[in-house]
Structure 1
């Protein structure tokens, strides 16, 4: 391709923090690889020594310096790059790039922002500009006012009507945001929020509305597609990083799905975004009314989930688009048989569950809301929602064997958990069902969509069946059904009052084994060459055969938690790379998206 930049600076996300973790190491690493494939000299700015992207075999030059305007200007002055990538280092990189543009540094040194223009980034980050731009194309946003002082915030809250949401522009992980039910709460939260930013937003609170996300990619030729859409288990008011997220969405009608998809594509085109973009909606469950809540004109936590959930290499594609390629020019590196212009199709369901470490901090409230507290997340894959949910809860490694049949009681006061959610909210739903509450009553308290509640009721129904039979009388059909709904051997054993290993032997005697399935982005429409696999009891055959050669399994670190994070990704990646060089077949086992 002609007119490629010869030297490009990539801004990393710096230190890991709540709201910015390993997903940006992933996206930055993919961007570096994509640029090097085109012969572009890459310069990385990232002081985080534990990341994969700072390894010596990736970028041509690595600066372990703060991702701030002062230090990045010094690097630009020395290296004289042609271009800069802002969308692969999270909010930290984006804010730094905006500051460099505003101060005139980029123009002074002739550095071009690759991909989404700075003006488009600013239009998505500045809440007042954001609302103005979307009104130009008749796209709805929450009724809101940008304010700069405490008295104005209170006045606008009364004008909108309580409850209201407080939000901050240019913020990470819902920093400084929250729900306010009266004037006192507005004054308290607005005062705190104004210490983080000069401008805050007071907006209407959409009680009980669903939260939906779309991942969109667009090239400079105006080709545009939806890579993945996702649905939050929890309603509006809980940050998407704090909520269980399901991909693809399960409760939207065909009309709702295509309406939101069309609005997302129209919005991305109007803003002029090039590359990848995340759009978050609020959707009224009783009508087709909607609001666009937020747009991230960069790779995000949701982008990493969407990429792993679909098998579509979002970060790699976004980097190529930033260089000027069209979607039809870029091969899908996962399938090797389609182009990036091919919209993914899924024949499975993915569930993302956050992990909190709140017990380590005695004074911290366990309530969850519009600000992030979770430090990690897991991704579970299955052919049923129930299967993926239970697998994901085990993956958290917080002591849960699944949604039910746990050693310890997981929800102390399920009524309060349903109305005022904490990190244990999902466990309150089966407790409420077992207490005799109806699905309608649980929905009224929690505003969780009834589809999810009925799926949880399915799990409770199987638990009841298991509790009525003994080990000697447990039929094959019941064990098979339990496995298909995500029950572990340990859960089944606890219900039958026996040992986990006895259940395992019984299951094997019945000939019940999981099947290996591929994530191919194509729902098996074309033969795929992927090595991206999951196990399920909801399958009749394996998608791949087993190779008889020297193999080494590498166990990943799982969900990030305090004391274990991206440094173990670095260890695993380098282990796999070394083993491959020694001609071993490598098998990576991990569930961190």
Structure 2
């Protein structure tokens, strides 16, 4: 998000606009004094942003580059007269609210895992009985998979909802049927309201169920067929245009056999934008910012489809477990990584090995390896 905010400021400056940055995190480049014309070192809350907006009277405010915190403010800011650039608060809510997004997917005749929308425990237990376990529990309006969990039994689901209903912030919770042996895919793209430019398709190396921020991924994909990739692009295009996205959009899919399931769409900057930009040479954050200013993709001289690089780029997460003794290191739908590294090579295996070395995960060249397989996988 820091990368995207900096590049947005650069794009605005290049277009002749002055920029104002609101950020209270000192460990960021976006709070450097020369990144923007003005810097407010304030918390990103409704009260603080409103005060700044009244003082500065900006032409527009960008909420889609700073993660979930500013995104949650979009509708309230718009209702109070603050102009929001790019994707409208209404479109943001349609994508982020689980019930509304489910209706959108169904209207486009796309597929989601068997699921149900719930708001309280009794309703959740009833829906879970119909869908079957295991389930992925997905609250609305969350970042980093916060509050997401896999429930393997009624006991797990009851325990989760008893302790975590506050995470949903009165918004609906989605119960998804967990897809075993599925491959997860991320796509980053830019939409100007008329056309959609695909930035990159990333195939996750871990199976679905691990948060995208904790999963290694490769660009371009190394196992997905061309037909599946074209289907993914078309599904993302339909959803981005239906949502009237103007700016960055990220979509996550699960592929089981050759069936494609939509997991979620985020009409905002994702944590993979810097990775995709470096791997492809496309400055996605800048391109999207120009779209928010009304400069179409065609006017920027950009086509809808760019050929994927002739080499492999592998993103690998970095975890803080060595610094925090006793922390649960088992990965799941809630994000635990604190950084990432990148390996590049013409050969996928070597690119992956380079990413391992960059993350200080050097494998020994000799000795014994212990391999454990659970009973279900032995079948």
Q: Quick check: TM above 0.5?
A: yes
Give the match for residue 309 of structure 1: 279
1:39 pairs with 7, 16, 23, which one? Answer: 16
CA distance in structure 1 between the partners assigned to 2:114 and 2:330 by the alignment: 26
Rg larger in 1 or in 2? Answer: 1
Q: Does residue 26 in structure 1 map to residue 3 in structure 2?
A: yes
1:50 pairs with 17, 24, 27, which one? Answer: 27
Q: Displacement of 1:212 after TM fit?
A: 1.0
Q: Displacement of 1:342 after TM fit?
A: 6.0
Q: Does residue 321 in structure 1 map to residue 291 in structure 2?
A: yes
CA distance in structure 1 between the partners assigned to 2:153 and 2:274 by the alignment: 37
CA distance in structure 2 between the partners assigned to 1:64 and 1:112 by the alignment: 21
Give the match for residue 179 of structure 1: 150
**8 Å contact 2:279–2:313 — kept in the other structure?**
yes
**8 Å contact 2:197–2:303 — kept in the other structure?**
no
Q: How does 1:9-158 map to 2 (within 5 A)?
A: 24-101=1-78, 104-105=79-80, 107=81, 111-158=82-129
Q: Displacement of 1:243 after TM fit?
A: 1.0
Which structure ranks higher in relative contact order (CA pairs < 8 Å, sequence separation ≥ 6)? 2
2:198 pairs with 211, 226, 239, which one? Answer: 226
**Residue deviations 1:498-524 (CA, integer Å, cap 9, x gap):** xxxxxxxxxxxxxxxxxxxxxxxxxxx
**Residue deviations 1:362-418 (CA, integer Å, cap 9, x gap):** 332221111111111111101111111111111112xx334x517x87x6x5215xx
Q: Displacement of 1:344 after TM fit?
A: 4.2
Q: Does residue 201 in structure 1 map to residue 174 in structure 2?
A: yes
**Residue deviations 1:333-356 (CA, integer Å, cap 9, x gap):** xxxxxx465624311001111111
SS at the partner of 1:234?
Answer: strand
Give the match for residue 365 of structure 2: 405
Q: Does residue 394 in structure 1 map to residue 357 in structure 2?
A: yes
Give the match for residue 298 of structure 1: 268
1:330 pairs with 294, 300, 313, which one? Answer: 300
**8 Å contact 1:219–1:321 — kept in the other structure?**
yes
Give the direction of change, closer, same or farther, for the CA distance of 1:64–1:340 in structure 2 (3 Å limit).
farther
Q: Does residue 368 in structure 1 map to residue 341 in structure 2?
A: no
Give the match for residue 348 of structure 1: 311
**Residue deviations 1:77-136 (CA, integer Å, cap 9, x gap):** 1111121111111111211223423xx22x2xxx32111111111111100001011111
Give the direction of change, closer, same or farther, for the CA distance of 1:342–1:291 in structure 2 (3 Å limit).
closer
Q: How does 1:504-519 map to 2 (within 5 A)?
A: none
SS at the partner of 1:263?
Answer: helix
**8 Å contact 1:317–1:340 — kept in the other structure?**
no
The count of aligned residue pairs is: 377
Give the match for residue 21 of structure 1: none
**8 Å contact 1:228–1:306 — kept in the other structure?**
yes
Q: What is the TM-score with the length of structure 2 in the denominator?
A: 0.94
Give the match for residue 537 of structure 1: none
CA distance in structure 1 between the partners assigned to 2:47 and 2:205 by the alignment: 42
Give the match for residue 162 of structure 1: 133
**8 Å contact 1:176–1:192 — kept in the other structure?**
no
Give the match for residue 160 of structure 2: 189
Give the match for residue 214 of structure 1: 187
SS at the partner of 1:372?
Answer: coil
Q: Does residue 415 in structure 1 map to residue 372 in structure 2?
A: yes
Give the direction of change, closer, same or farther, for the CA distance of 1:359–1:57 in structure 2 (3 Å limit).
closer
